[in-house]
């Protein structure tokens, strides 16, 4: 298993299908451990583009690369972890506070993200030094 921060988890999604094709159903409380309040997707990224570069105070997310691939870099304030999302049946649960960066997008990448709250600018941590201080406090290290 790929090592991840404690607030993150890879989740295998059940594929249902037959000779006509495949289907993956995603339901609150089953594969997704929260009620989905917002859905968005990233696509059409140009070669060499990286995105993210932020963390959240409270938001929880579930990311699925439904087409193509990308690399998610996750940082808990102590260690950085990398996960390649390249299967539509593999979801990445991301808790808070976790710094996230997305890179190495394939030309056909479609990254679907489910979130437990609507967009709220005040929930974003956009400065890495601020994130590190918040992550240390979250971990119980007041130093």
**Residues 6+ away with beta carbon under 8 Å from 10:** 1, 2, 4, 83, 90, 91, 92, 93
Give the full edge-to-edge strand order of the sheet including 80-85.
80-85, 70-75, 99-103, 51-56, 124-125
Q: Active site residue: 38, 51, 54, 87, which one?
A: 54
Based on the residue annotation, tell me whether 54 is a catalytic residue of this protein: yes
Beta carbons of 41 and 68 less than 8 angstroms apart: no
**Which are the catalytic amino acids?**
54
């Amino acid at each position: 298993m790929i090592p991840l921060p404690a607030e993150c988890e890879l989740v295998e999604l059940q594929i249902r299908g037959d000779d006509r094709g495949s289907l993956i159903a995603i339901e609150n409380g089953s594969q997704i451990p929260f009620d989905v309040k917002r859905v968005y997707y990233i696509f059409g990224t140009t070669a060499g583009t990286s995105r993210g570069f932020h963390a959240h105070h409270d938001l929880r997310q579930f990311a699925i690369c439904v087409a193509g691939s990308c690399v998610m870099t996750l940082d808990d304030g102590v260690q950085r972890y990398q996960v390649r999302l390249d299967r539509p049946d593999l979801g990445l649960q991301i808790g808070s506070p976790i710094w996230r960066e997305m890179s190495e997008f394939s030309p056909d990448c479609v990254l679907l993200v489910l979130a437990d709250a609507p967009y709220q600018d005040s929930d974003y941590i956009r400065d890495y030094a601020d994130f590190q201080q918040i992550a240390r406090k979250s971990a119980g290290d007041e130093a």
